[in-house]
Amino acid sequence: QKEVEQDPGPLSVPEGAIVSLNCTYSNSAFQYFMWYRQYSRKGPELLMYTYSSGNKEDGRFTAQVDKSSKYISLFIRDSQPSDSATYLCASEGGDDKIIFGKGTRLHILP
């Protein structure tokens, strides 16, 4: 079992819909959780960085971590075509090494 599991998609939703992206992880030592957005042929861009369980909101983006179920979520409200990208979840256990999921390809349909 990979340490961070993520459905690769693709996930297609109509413009304006709420997008829900999810990951699970297996290592209970993970404390820090991140979501990155990656456009084609570009480096990943950090969207959200959270510590332990709870919610964090930034504009249209909300990151949610449930450590009891080892579940990580990213919600995008009022989705727009420019949100179309690959979204990578990641976790860090305090040893500096970041473990990435495979990434979910998201398509927002105009």
Footprint on this chain of another protein (rule: CB under 8 A): 31-32, 34, 36, 41-46, 49, 51, 88, 92, 94, 96-98, 100-103, 105
CB 105 within 8 A of CB 9: yes
Query: Closest CB to another protein among 17 and 102?
Result: 102
Query: Closest CB to another protein among 17 and 98?
Result: 98
- Tell the smallest beta-carbon distance from residue 86 to another protein (Å): 8
- Tell the smallest beta-carbon distance from residue 79 to another protein (Å): 21
Which residues make Cβ contacts (< 8 Å) with residue 101, sequence separation at least 6?
4, 5, 6, 23, 88, 89, 90
CB 13 within 8 A of CB 109: yes
